[in-house]
Structures are given as structure tokens and as C-alpha cells.
Amino acid sequence: MGLRAIRLLHDFEIGDKRLVVKVDSKTQGTLDEYVKKMFKEEHGKSPKPEEIEKGFITDALLKEDESVQEKINAILKDHEKELKSTEPTENIRRR
């Protein structure tokens, strides 16, 4: 789910770098329409602009997010040594 990727990965830190996760304007429009639809189904009314900006989130989605975040953290922990030992090299010879 695109919204989950944005929620969980935008500004997520790996090593000493922060990820930037964003979508183009067309995809953002599609996501906003999805949020409006889901919000209206859940609350019986249209969302305010600030509610659209927050995205659609329920307790169930938050619980799933937490589970996914734990899995991401476990993967990073499993590869912690490799992540720390990888340093960019400037003089890579291309073939």
C-alpha cells in the first residue's frame, strides 16, 4: 500500500541517511481520493483538508503498521554489520 510506504518509510533512517518517500502529483491525487472515500465510509462525512493530509488511518492499520515496522527493524538488525561496513567509494572503476 502506497500510503503505508509513505507513513513508515518517509524520514526513516538507515545508517546515517534518511529516506525520502513521496509521490508525483497524479498519484497524490489518487491517494487523496482514496483517503476521502475511506474517511467517508468510516465517519459518514467528507474529511476536512487537514484530515486528508493526515491520510486515512484506523486502529487496525496502526497495528499492521507496527507489525511491518518491527519486521523492517528486524531486517535492518540482521544486516547491521553490513550496513555499518559499507562506505561509498568515489573511485569505482567502471567496466
pLDDT recorded at residue 10: 93
Q: How many residues are recorded in the chain?
A: 95
Report pLDDT digits (tens) over 58-68: 899 999 999 99
> Which domain range does residue 9 map to?
2-85
For a pLDDT cut of 70, what percent of the chain falls above it?
88
**81 within a domain of the structure (yes/no):** yes
Torsion angles phi and psi, residue 17, rounded to 5: -115, 145
Which among 10, 11, 17 has a CA at the least distance from the CA of 83?
17
Which among 8, 10, 4, 13 has a CA at the least distance from the CA of 80?
13
- How does residue 91 score in pLDDT terms, banded at 50, 70 and 90? low
Q: How many domains does the chain have?
A: 1
For residues 77 and 9, is the Cβ–Cβ distance under 8 A? Answer: no
**91 within a domain of the structure (yes/no):** no
Confidence (pTM): 0.70
The answer, yes or no, to whether residue 81 has pLDDT greater than 80, is yes
> Tell me, what DSSP letter sits at residue 17?
E
Whole-Å CA distances, 92 to 88, 89, 95: 9, 6, 10
Q: Residue 80 is placed in which grid cell?
A: 547491521
**65 within a domain of the structure (yes/no):** yes
**92 within a domain of the structure (yes/no):** no
- How does residue 17 score in pLDDT terms, banded at 50, 70 and 90? confident
pLDDT recorded at residue 72: 94
Report pLDDT digits (tens) over 27-47: 999 999 999 999 999 999 999
**54 within a domain of the structure (yes/no):** yes
